[in-house]
Amino acid sequence: MPDLRPFEERSADHLRLVIEASDIGVWELDLGSGRAVRNHVHDRIFGYSETLAEWTYDMFLDHIVEEDRARVDRLQKAAIAENREWSFECRIATANGEIRWIRASGRPLQDDAGKTVKLIGNVIDITDTKQNEARLRLITEELNHRVRNMLATIKSMVRFSAKKADDIPSFAEALEGRVRTLARSHQLLVAESDAAIRPSTILEAELSAFPGLDDRVKIAASNEPVLRDSAGQGLALVFHELLTNALKYGALSNDEGHVEVTIEGTERAASIRWKEQGGPRLDGTKGEGFGTVLISRVFASQASTSLEFPPEGVECRIELDVT
């Protein structure tokens, strides 16, 4: 059956349906009595599953968190006095104690004498928007921090790689390998899983760049902590240097040698031991390559380290603070 009501009445019903579907709370505040009429969405935003029998301006202020309350009240009084829009964002405590964000705006209505007697307006819940903004700020700050750390590390890599290189090709090859290591560690650090930034996972990622070593580098790990980004990047570079040196000069440079890596930890620290066996015998002389410098300098503020060269093979110990 067609709807034969007047157009204005039908349009008003359609508008109410649109407002309800849009999760917009609408209200009209009588300044004389302090009471407000509003729709159900309004009360639901403030945490009430059923529409309250009464709503007042004082009840509204009571829901605003204390830190925001005076500001919102001051804006309302200024809007009434200056006959202008009342617009604000603030935090509220809902009926069940949850802290949420709202955005509201109201417009003064005046009587025939020009006196403001009412405010009409709307309110919406913007908690999700505020949370997304906070996450974006956090991500941006974290990205800036990581980029600064990475650029500082690359600067050191360039300087020490150039100092130790015999020619341009060897310099380019060494630097390229180290930059790839940073890229792999960065990929792990931005992963959502905490497992991605544990010491064994970082080492396994480095091993993936050297096919055929899985059976010759044995990893025994227990109670591994999650690493911070700077510690993760530093450890990736250390593992890269240890692997590269083992392949060139150490236990992985022949067919008989192997490496044992033991990782133990708590929530606050990681104890890592790298031990090479079966490679060419060493003369006990301590090297001064990039890896040695990196271990002593990059981890200086957050780890106790040692790098030894006994005849049986290189031994590296790292006690890494992860707090």
Q: What is the pLDDT along the chain (323 residues), one digit of tens a residue?
A: 444 444 445 445 555 555 555 688 999 999 999 999 999 899 999 999 999 999 999 999 999 999 999 999 999 999 999 999 999 999 999 999 999 999 999 999 988 888 899 999 999 999 999 988 888 887 677 667 667 666 666 666 676 666 666 677 777 776 777 677 666 666 666 554 555 578 898 888 888 877 788 889 999 998 888 887 667 777 887 888 888 888 888 898 898 899 999 999 877 788 999 999 999 988 766 655 555 665 566 555 666 778 888 889 999 998 888 77
How, if at all, do strands 116-125 and 217-222 pair? unpaired
Of 65, 63, 18, 72, the residue nearest 45 (C-alpha): 63
Q: Is the pTM of this model over 0.75?
A: no
HSE at residue 257, side-chain half, CA atoms within 13 A, is 21
Complete domains list, the chain, with CATH: 7-125 (3.30.450.20), 130-321 (3.30.565.10)
Which of 281, 282, 278 minimizes the C-alpha distance to 257?
A: 278
